[in-house]
Chains A and B, each alone.
Chain A
Amino acid sequence: MRGLELRQYAPALAAGCAGTALGVINQEPSGALFLALATTMLIKRRHLAVAAALLLIAVCALIVFVQASGSAGLTRPAAFLLSALAIVWLADLWRRRIDTDEHLNNAKLIVESMPGLGWATDAMGKFVYVNPSVVEYVGKRTDEFNETGRTGLEAVHPDDAERVTEAWLTSMRTGTSFQSIHRIRRADGEYRWFQAYGRPHFDAQGDILGWFGTTIDVDEKKRAEQRLAESERQLRTLIDTMPVMIWCGSPSGEPIYQNPKTLEYLGATFEEIKENNFGVVHPDDAEGFQSAWADCVERKTSLSLICRLRYKDGTHRWNRIDAAPLLGEDGEIIEWYGTNVDIEELHQTQEELRSNAERLRLMLDTLPAFVWCASPEGQPTYFNEPLMKYSGVTLEELRGVDGSGFAPMISSLVHPADAPFLRDRFEQSFKSGEPIALKYRHRLADGNYHLVDCRARVLRDRQSRLFQWYGVIVDVEDEAQAQAQLQKAQHQLELATRAASLSELSASIAHELNQPLVAVTTNSSATAQWLSATPPNIDRAKSSAKKAADAASDAAEVISRIKALFRQSGGAKYPGDINEVILEACTLLRERIAGSKCDLQTHLEPNLPNATFDKGLILQVVVNLIQNAMDAMATLNGAVRLLDIRSRFVNGKILVDVRDSGVGLQDAEKIFEPFYTTKHNGMGIGLSICRSIVGAHAGTLWASPSEPSGTVFTFALPLSGG
């Protein structure tokens, strides 16, 4: 720069030196012309001080060298002195000039080495200077900026242009600093965010001369801000649109924010809630809530409670309220964040469950039955209260007893004599999952034993694995004793029963006799009529008489059969095997069975205990039932005629089933009425007599439908001594 400076001044200096030389050396007046030229050039370049200094030097030199010869005295020294002063002045000017240059250079360096974009404009906003960063960034020079006529807006993002212009105009108008954040296009066309700051400078009159400014790249920051704002916006949208009630509170617990869902739910405005935060809480819950909240605020701990909040329709609904404080580094609460969740349905369900469970427990504990549950292995899992009291044990004590599966239950609660039997049955059932139904002597809290009826079933899960055993135990001790009493009474009643059956028997006998008697009387009368006719019809009379005789012998047969029946039953009962009676009946009826085309099947349980019965009577019953069964199937065409006789031992009784595959009965009780028959020739003793006979043995006879068709007649006889 200095070189440039020298070159600028060189013509002036050359002209000045030439002038001076001419004037001094040649004493040519024309040298003044060169001096004047040099001066003019300097003046033109506004270097008045330099020009004045040089002119003074030249004039003084002229005076010294030109006038020296001519004059003496004071003039020369004065001129010399002035010349010297002028040189000194010039030198000073020169030095100052160099200083200024240096400052300028430094300033320029500073400006140019600044990280941002440096610029200066004139009063109109035209760029007068841009630092190399600008040139480099925008790819244009100052003059190019101004050429566009848009005062530098050309590189600004179109969306920001108006804002920038506005800021600029404001700055121009008010003289305040210009500030703007906007995007500027880079040479490659990409926009980046910049923050521009320009300060106006003024002249003495206060008019703006121009602006100096810097524009700093704030792209990263701006974008980060934008991202932040975006994420904040998203978060807010999220919070505002989420179907969850969200709220914020101040460190002291005052509400700060409630999301729209919350306000909508409560049917209140934020102001209302702010005014009375606890107004929406159910009056019964408000106090607890308030104290819990205050406690949490004080201890800076999370809040979690359920309470009823007033719903917009005025009802109160259960809500779970959770809140957590956000703590600063100093451990102070910055803000509370909370959510409300409507758990009305859940709460109701829970309440219902609780009340159901309570009801169930109450029910189980008040039931006049003892209820227990056990795992599939037989380990007891539940005893109801009455059972524990009754047995004098607790579940825990039972579990503490040695032994696996149901062993503890049996060893603690069952009479030793019944234990093996019970163990077998339980083992069998727990393996197979078959229901349990049995009676045993149960140990009571006082050490006595009572007969109980124990029934249990297993619940299976979806894979039909055994899941849990549920059982009830009913004390049947009283019942058993009553049963014994009853049996005694029944024994006494037996005689009376016999008497009753006698009347039925006589009615049945009367019926059996009446039929042949009608035939006897009608045929006899006819015989008489045929004989008294003219002429007598002997043939018809004979025929009628024969019919009468046949009918009379039928009647006689009925009587002899009844006699035989009573002869066989001497009234004495002896213990015997019912299977023998069944086999005997089958033998007696073998030919009839074969003739009836029935398929006889017998399923007789071996080793049946003995029953006490009158063999003759019971044989009659079996024979009658078999005949009935065959008759029931007599009209079957083509269908299977299955005659199935079984004996079995069930619940202390001997049961005999006689099953047919006929069309079945319409009324299973009516058939036992004395004069009811479904048969065409109802001979033999009726079902009513069968029932009387079985009844006289303290047994029962009944009929029930058989599957898939037909009827099964069953009679049950008690055991000997039972």
Chain B
Amino acid sequence: MSHGDHAVFVIDDDKRVRDGLSELLESRGIGVTTFASAREYLKAPKPENPSCLVLDVRLPDIDGFELQARLANEPHPPIVFITGHGDIPMTVRAMKLGAVDFLAKPFRDHELLAAIQTALERDREARRDRSVLNELQGRLNRLSARERDVLPLVVSGLMNKQGAAELGISEITFQIHRGNLMRKMHADSLADLVRIATKLGIPITHSRHGN
């Protein structure tokens, strides 16, 4: 692992803790950026790398839970909570909201490192999913308006004749659109197209057996 392909953010208001964590992670070759407050973190630029957030619960101004809640509606690094005073309700709450782990201070270094690895892995996957989706979305955007009409009919399993009738066009024309559509969406088969459509959230609107 090198510093370039990931990032770990640490937010803790105690400088000694921040320094200790930096030291620990850097000695393992993990890139670290530390912040004394959530506000500082929010202002800082974030690299487009798999990343992870080591977050102290008790923070001045915006505390850890509040930051978690604020980030909830956007893509954000998976969170590993650390706290000097944790209890079960706090842990449950953090985990329900998607935290990777909830560590009580003082924690063992391998516990923290494991949690950070899990978090980075999770982010890496999430990013991969997001990029695949972005790619598919890009392909979808490249479709012509008519091809976009044809797509749901095809993935609904309608036969060419039915689809053509539905759109009021000839079967031949429908077939041409269908061919273009398959090519543009990089779909090898109908099954492949259906899988792509499902990822893109395109609903099945028609039934082969009529409505």
Contact = CB atoms under 8 A, between A and B. Distances in A.
Interface of A: 507, 510-511, 514-523, 525-527, 529-530, 533, 537, 540, 543-544, 547-548, 550-551, 554, 674-681
A533 B28 CA distance: 9
A523 B108 CA distance: 12
Contacts of A517: 105-106
Given A517-B105, A518-B107, A529-B28, A681 B20 contact: no
A680 B36 contact: yes
Nearest to B104: A514
Contact of A544 (B27, B28, B60): B27
A522 B20 contact: yes
B16 A551 contact: yes
B84 interface: yes
Q: Tell me which of B26, B84, B107 has the highest count of chain A C-beta atoms within 10 A of its own C-beta.
A: B84
Nearest to A508: B85
A523 B84 contact: no
A548 to B, nearest CB: 8
B60 A679 contact: yes
B15 interface: yes
B23 interface: yes
Given A514-B106, A678-B60, A523 B20 contact: yes
Interface in B10-25: 13-17, 19-21, 23-24
B106 A521 contact: yes
Contacts of A518: 14, 16-17, 20-21, 82, 84, 105-107
Given A551-B16, A554-B16, A522 B105 contact: no
Given A511-B85, A677-B58, A680-B36, A543 B23 contact: yes
A526 B24 contact: yes
Given A522-B20, A678-B60, A540 B106 contact: no
A550 B19 CA distance: 11
Contacts of B20: 518-523, 526, 547-548, 551
B109 interface: yes
Contacts of A510: 84-85
Nearest to B57: A675
A544 B23 contact: yes
Contacts of A530: 27
Nearest to B28: A529
Which interface class (under 10, 10 to 19, 20 to 34, 35 or more) fits B? 20 to 34
Given A547-B16, A680-B36, A522 B85 contact: no
Nearest to A522: B20
Given A515-B84, A515-B105, A529 B16 contact: no
Nearest to A511: B84
Given A522-B21, A523-B20, A681 B15 contact: yes
A677 B60 contact: yes
Q: Could you say which of B15, B36, B105, B108 has the most chain A C-beta atoms within 10 Å of its C-beta?
A: B105
Shortest 5 CB-CB distances between A and B: which pairs? A522-B20, A529-B27, A526-B23, A519-B16, A525-B109
Given A517-B105, A680-B60, A526 B84 contact: no
Nearest to A676: B58
Contacts of B108: 521
Interface in B72-114: 82, 84-85, 105-109
Contacts of B84: 510-511, 514-515, 518, 675
B16 A516 contact: yes
A533 to B, nearest CB: 8
Given A507-B85, A522-B24, A550 B16 contact: yes
Interface in B143-161: none
27 contacts: A510-B85, A514-B85, A515-B14, A515-B17, A515-B84, A515-B105, A516-B16, A517-B106, A518-B14, A518-B82, A519-B17, A520-B20, A520-B106, A521-B109, A522-B23, A523-B19, A523-B23, A525-B24, A526-B20, A529-B28, A537-B27, A540-B23, A543-B23, A550-B16, A675-B58, A681-B13, A681-B14
A540 B27 contact: yes
Contacts of B60: 677-680
Nearest to B13: A680
Most chain B beta carbons < 10 A, residue from A510, A515, A547, A548: A515
Nearest to B85: A675
B52 to A, nearest CB: 16
A511 B28 CA distance: 27
A522 B109 contact: yes
A525 B22 CA distance: 11
B16 A515 contact: yes
B115 to A, nearest CB: 14
Nearest to B14: A515
Given A515-B16, A543-B23, A675-B58, 15 more contacts: A511-B85, A514-B84, A514-B105, A518-B84, A521-B106, A521-B109, A522-B21, A522-B23, A523-B19, A525-B24, A525-B27, A530-B27, A544-B27, A678-B60, A680-B36
Contacts of B15: 681
Contacts of B58: 675-677
A100 B111 CA distance: 171
A710 B109 CA distance: 42
Contacts of A520: 20, 106
Interface string B8-52: 000001111101110110111000000010000000000000000
Nearest to B61: A678
B35 to A, nearest CB: 12
B29 to A, nearest CB: 9
Nearest to B19: A547
A455 to B, nearest CB: 45
Contacts of A526: 20, 23-24, 26-27
Nearest to A551: B16
Contacts of A519: 14, 16-17, 19-20
Interface string B128-156: 00000000000000000000000000000
Contacts of A523: 19-20, 23-24
Of B19, B24, B26, B36, most A-chain CB atoms within 10 Å:
B24
A533 B29 CA distance: 11
B13 to A, nearest CB: 5
Contacts of B17: 515, 518-519, 522
A239 to B, nearest CB: 86
Contacts of B107: 518, 521
A681 B59 CA distance: 10
Contacts of B24: 522-523, 525-526, 529
A515 B56 CA distance: 11
Nearest to B21: A522
A554 B17 CA distance: 12
A592 to B, nearest CB: 20
Contacts of B106: 514, 517-518, 520-521
Nearest to A532: B27
Nearest to B113: A525
Contacts of B16: 515-516, 518-519, 547, 550-551, 554
Contacts of B82: 518
Contacts of B14: 515, 518-519, 681
